[in-house]
Amino acid sequence: DQLTCIFVNHGLLRREEVERTFNVFRLNLGMNIIYVDASERFLNRLKGITDPEIKRKAIGEEFIRVFEEEASKIGKVDFLAQGTLYPDVIESALSGSASAKIKTHHNVGGLPAKMTLNLLEPLRYLFKDEVRQVGLELGLPEEMVWRQPFPGPGLAIRTIGEVTKEKLEILRSADWIVMNEIKKAKLYRQLWQSFAILTDVKSVGVMGDYRTYGYLVAVRAVTSEDAMTADWARLPYDLLAKISNRIVNEVPGVNRVVYDITSKPPSTIEWE
């Protein structure tokens, strides 16, 4: 009775993300959810922003402002519960002086200095594999427990450069193909994360007898135990070929696909 769930659609979600989220929480868990469509608000806030750190901080602040506004409609609300995990804290350099800031996570270092709500972070000192064990013990649906991690800033940090509606639609289509082929190959559970990135690079290509000048999409798939380190997944060549062929043939505006074969470190899992 003390919990109110608010689902903020910031317009940076993957295809069918809204429907799947509702199915998990309403149908499987029987929870009532307040739905807030803040898509235009977030896109307007991100206009002209290309720096990853500024993107993350803008999204983090906008999330809090939306929650504060919704809380004021409910009545007396003192706390905001977040699913912050320990890697978020470490990478945002808030765990102590021993760690340097790698990137600001929207739910940690990206939060505004002034907030009307007090934070509750029950998972703050747990890694993802530990959170999954908790989920299994609580009897949560497997779809929820084994879902690949998806960043709070969503597709904004998988869209290199400025975020626009057009670029988001291109990325959604490419990412859908990646996930579809990974699942068909029965590799989803074996991978820590698998997704597409829309780079800000364009290249010359040819379709039929005509020259094209389209975006370059990168595919990222990694294996990991806790997200602190990760290795690039050795996906079968025929699977990579299927993903590449489908993206360049089915996604307008894309004419080249590359596969990221960099481990963490030196790279991070997400590009931004």
- The residue that leads in pLDDT, 60 or 159, is 159
pLDDT for the residue numbered 98: 44
Q: Which of 23-27, 165-169, 190-194 shows the lowest per-residue confidence on average (mean pLDDT)?
A: 23-27
Does 5-148 match 158-259 in CATH topology? no
Range 198-218 average pLDDT? 96
What is the end-to-end Cα distance of the chain in Å, rounded?
Answer: 38
pTM, two decimal places: 0.89
Q: Can you tell me the distance from the alpha carbon of 182 to that of 204, in angstroms, rounded to the nearest whole number?
A: 28
| Level-2 CATH architecture, domain 158-259 | 2-Layer Sandwich (3.30)
Q: Is the pLDDT of residue 173 over 80?
A: yes
Q: Is the pLDDT of residue 258 over 90?
A: yes
pLDDT tops 80 at residue 108: no
The answer to whether the beta carbons of residues 11 and 44 sit under 8 Å apart is no
What is the mean pLDDT of the segment spanning 76-103?
73
Residue 95 has pLDDT above 80, yes or no: no
- State the burial class of residue 27 (Cβ atoms within 10 Å of its Cβ: 0-12, 13-18, 19+): exposed
pLDDT in tens, 59-77: 999 999 999 999 999 888 9
CA 222 to CA 237: how far, in whole Å? 15
Q: Which fold has domain 5-148?
A: Rossmann fold (3.40.50)
Q: Identify the pLDDT of residue 97.
A: 45
Residue 109: pLDDT above 50?
yes
- Give the confidence band of 43 by pLDDT, cuts at 50, 70, 90: very high
Contact criterion met (CB below 8 Å) for 55 and 10:
no
Q: What is the pLDDT of residue 54?
A: 95
Sequence letter at residue 199: T
Average pLDDT on 86-112 reads: 62
Domain ranges of the chain: 5-148, 158-259
Least trusted range by pLDDT, from 28-42, 109-123, 179-193, 255-269? 109-123
Instruction: Please tell me what DSSP assigns to residue 7.
Output: E
